[in-house]
Amino acid sequence: MNQEPQQRHSSRREKSNKLVNWRYWFVFCGFTAFAALLLLQEHRAHLWGMALYLILILCPLMLLVIYREEKSLDRLFDKKAEDDKENKP
């Protein structure tokens, strides 16, 4: 008998926590979007001046990603080639 009211209260808490979390994230995202808009508006000239540096920083990072994917593709093709050799009569 005592368990039934406790279960109702725990389910209400879970629902209220989910609602609070959703509201929290909604407010947080709205505030972040507004702050980003203001920052971009005020510092637009600085951002264009840094565009060259951002491109220079992104080039090595892109090469690392491409190299990593190339290695994984090589492993995949090597595995398929080994499987084909084993399956041939």
- Give Cα 84 to chain centroid, integer Å: 37
Q: For the chain, how big is the Rg over CA atoms in Å? A: 27
Read off the pLDDT of residues 21-50 as tens digits, 9 standing for 90 and up.
778 888 899 999 999 999 888 888 887 788
DSSP letter at 2 equals -
Question: Percentage of the chain with pLDDT > 90?
Answer: 11
Are the beta carbons of 52 and 58 closer than 8 angstroms?
no
DSSP letter at 1 equals -
29 and 48 housed in the same domain:
no
8 and 29 housed in the same domain:
yes
Read off the pLDDT of residues 9-18 as tens digits, 9 standing for 90 and up.
555 666 656 6
- Residue 71 or 39, more confident: 39
38 and 57 housed in the same domain:
no
Domain span at residue 62 reads 44-89
Number of domains in the chain: 2
Q: What pTM value is reported for the model?
A: 0.37
pLDDT at 37: 92
